[in-house]
Homo-oligomer: A and B are copies of this chain.
Amino acid sequence: MNCAEFRKRGAEMVEYICKYLETLENRRVVPSIEPGYLKELIPDEAPMYPEPWEAVMDDVERKIMPGMTHWNHPHFHAYFPSGNSFPSILADMLGDAIGVIGFSWAAGPSLTELEGIVMDWLGKALGLPSFFLGQVPGSKGGGVLQGSASDCVLVVMLAARTHAVRQLKKQYPDEDESHLLAKLMAYCSRESHSCVEKAAMISFVKLRILEPDSKSSLRGDTVARALKEDEKNGLIPFFISTTLGTTGSCAFDNLEEIGTVLQDYPEVWFHVDGAYGGSSFVCPEMRYLMKGIEYADSFNTNPNKWMLTSFDCSALWVRDRIRLTSALVVDPLYLKHGHSDTAIDLRHWGVPLSRRFRALKLWFVFRSYGITGIQAYIRRHCRLAKRFEQIILRDDRFEICNEVKMGLVCFRLKGSDKLNEKLLSNINASGKIHMVPASVNEQYVIRFCVNAENSTDDDIGELCFKYFIVIHSYCEFIMYSQNQSHNDKSIFGNFRQKSL
């Protein structure tokens, strides 16, 4: 394909994207296909010769779209948002065309520098402590864009591990480092994202999973007890990951309590994962939820979730950038350059060497929306979640299972987990709405997240209507099924009465 054809196909693709987004509501939000559907539709070998562009785009519509879960659909309420916006798409088009790979300053000077600048923009916009900012005089910290929150948590755990082992090595110079590793203990809450467990597996360190309180918040006294107990048993606490906006129920760990406890453990790296919740701090009225952030050694949030920026774009700040990079430095000659001694080389800030021009997306988003535009978007989502909470609360067969502070509402039918599982599976099978479950206080709950950029009162109002339709189909399911528990039957009876 040459430039002349790209001019044509590019314009067509822009049009396809607009039509796709404008008519998305007419599609099922989740597909009605079974695993393996696609291999029936696509040849099992690549074509020997070029195919016409029309054939490719025809297959997109006929083969790919029928197996698509539409994350931008107005009734996609699963997981958390997949950040998206037109300025972000445009930035990625440009980034792809430039094709710069920013593993070192020399390989991509403007990529490297823009990343530093927008990380400071974002840090300031969120009201983070100034020690996290890279371009503030005297700061030892700095920010970097990672591919995912998993990468953020992994690299800070690795940095903490490297530091802890080096400290131990001073005490026990003759011990094999792996034996020192055996003494290290990391901590998180039961409500932490699974990526903390994965990071601990990869880092080969022990992880103690702590119980949060009844509101799914990890508290200081729980942390204090665990640290003390482990120290008594000869273990060395070296890292804790806390969460602002848990995946299950958007709960907030108590940073202030935990930070106060950690004052007695200066060697413990205190990480704060605000993958979802962190972006809300662009609104000053939300910042009370990160009280205690001044104790933290690192913080991450995902603009690719709740800040209109396409995946991947996960922002990480550290208090001490040397501690981060010293865990990840490998320096071969073919990556050295004339400014190796003075410039930042971003390959030392993460697992992969190479990086896309992610900063461009965030820069385009900031400039197109302004801070006020992003605030308005966050506030609208929070308001819509409260609206949905009210709709649920109007029906006393249901209960709300989390404190609705951001865009996530957790609810359930009062009744068994099985009943709720069936409800959710029926809702999802309808193809009209998509939600996923979580476990909150060991109960199965249904998560409803406000996701689409332009979600409106109407969407949530209409959803309310559809949701009763779905309950109706659930009802039919109950009638069909004969082996229900007493509890489930009574709820069903209750429903029958109300709906008459």
Are B330 and A197 within 8 A (Cβ)? yes
How distant is A403 from chain B, measured CB to nearest CB, in Å? 18
The residue of chain B having its C-beta at the shortest distance from the C-beta of A364 within the complex is B56
Known: A90-B9, A90-B10. A342 touches B99 (CB 8 A): no
Q: Is A468 interfacial (CB-CB < 8 Å)?
A: no
The residue of chain B having its C-beta at the shortest distance from the C-beta of A282 within the complex is B46
Count A-side interface residues using an 8 Å CB cutoff.
Answer: 153
Copies per complex of this chain: 2
- Bound Cα distance A108, B78 (Å): 12
How distant is A150 from chain B, measured CB to nearest CB, in Å? 4
The residue from B98, B147, B334 contacting A438, defined by CB atoms under 8 A apart: B334
Q: Is A399 interfacial (CB-CB < 8 Å)?
A: no
Give residues 318-343 of A contacting B (CB, 8 Å). Answer: 327-328, 330-339, 342-343
Are A7 and B13 within 8 A (Cβ)? no
A34, A47, A83, A336: residue with the most chain B Cβ atoms closer than 10 Å: A47
How distant is A340 from chain B, measured CB to nearest CB, in Å? 10
Complex interface bits, A183-202 against B, C-beta within 8 A gives 1, otherwise 0: 00000000001110110011
List of B residues within 8 angstroms of A179 by Cβ: 178-179, 182
Are A122 and B89 within 8 A (Cβ)? no
Known: A68-B98, A69-B107, A98-B72. A202 touches B22 (CB 8 A): no
How distant is A168 from chain B, measured CB to nearest CB, in Å? 12
How distant is A116 from chain B, measured CB to nearest CB, in Å? 8
- Bound Cα distance A110, B71 (Å): 13
The residue of chain B having its C-beta at the shortest distance from the C-beta of A67 within the complex is B110
Q: Is A31 interfacial (CB-CB < 8 Å)?
A: yes
Are B79 and A98 within 8 A (Cβ)? no
Give residues 123-166 of A contacting B (CB, 8 Å). Answer: 124-125, 135, 147-148, 150-151, 154, 158, 161
- Bound Cα distance A332, B436 (Å): 12
A33, A72, A113: residue with the most chain B Cβ atoms closer than 10 Å: A113
- Bound Cα distance A82, B99 (Å): 6
Q: Is A253 interfacial (CB-CB < 8 Å)?
A: no
- Bound Cα distance A42, B125 (Å): 16
Complex interface bits, A92-123 against B, C-beta within 8 A gives 1, otherwise 0: 11101111110001111111011011101110
Q: Is A425 interfacial (CB-CB < 8 Å)?
A: yes
Are B44 and A135 within 8 A (Cβ)? yes
A94, A117, A201, A204: residue with the most chain B Cβ atoms closer than 10 Å: A204
Give residues 180-227 of A contacting B (CB, 8 Å). Answer: 181-182, 193-195, 197-198, 201-204
Give residues 328-380 of A contacting B (CB, 8 Å). Answer: 328, 330-339, 342-344, 351-354, 356, 360, 364, 366-373
List of B residues within 8 angstroms of A259 by Cβ: none
The residue from B38, B55, B96 contacting A92, defined by CB atoms under 8 A apart: B96
A90, A117, A444: residue with the most chain B Cβ atoms closer than 10 Å: A90
Are A7 and B3 within 8 A (Cβ)? no
Q: Is A277 interfacial (CB-CB < 8 Å)?
A: no
Q: Is A477 interfacial (CB-CB < 8 Å)?
A: no
List of B residues within 8 angstroms of A438 by Cβ: 333-334
Known: A11-B11, A179-B179. A117 touches B48 (CB 8 A): no
The residue of chain B having its C-beta at the shortest distance from the C-beta of A204 within the complex is B204
Q: Is A500 interfacial (CB-CB < 8 Å)?
A: no
Q: Is A173 interfacial (CB-CB < 8 Å)?
A: no
- Bound Cα distance A276, B194 (Å): 34
Q: Is A45 interfacial (CB-CB < 8 Å)?
A: yes
Are B17 and A109 within 8 A (Cβ)? no
List of B residues within 8 angstroms of A158 by Cβ: 202
- Bound Cα distance A13, B66 (Å): 29
Q: Is A300 interfacial (CB-CB < 8 Å)?
A: no
The residue of chain B having its C-beta at the shortest distance from the C-beta of A438 within the complex is B334
Known: A178-B178, A178-B181, A447-B334. A366 touches B194 (CB 8 A): no
Contacts A20-B97, A35-B105 supplied; 7 other A-B pairs, CB < 8 Å: A31-B110, A39-B135, A46-B125, A46-B366, A78-B107, A84-B99, A148-B352
9 contacts across the A-B interface (CB closer than 8 A) = A6-B18, A10-B10, A11-B14, A45-B124, A46-B121, A72-B97, A96-B310, A99-B311, A176-B182
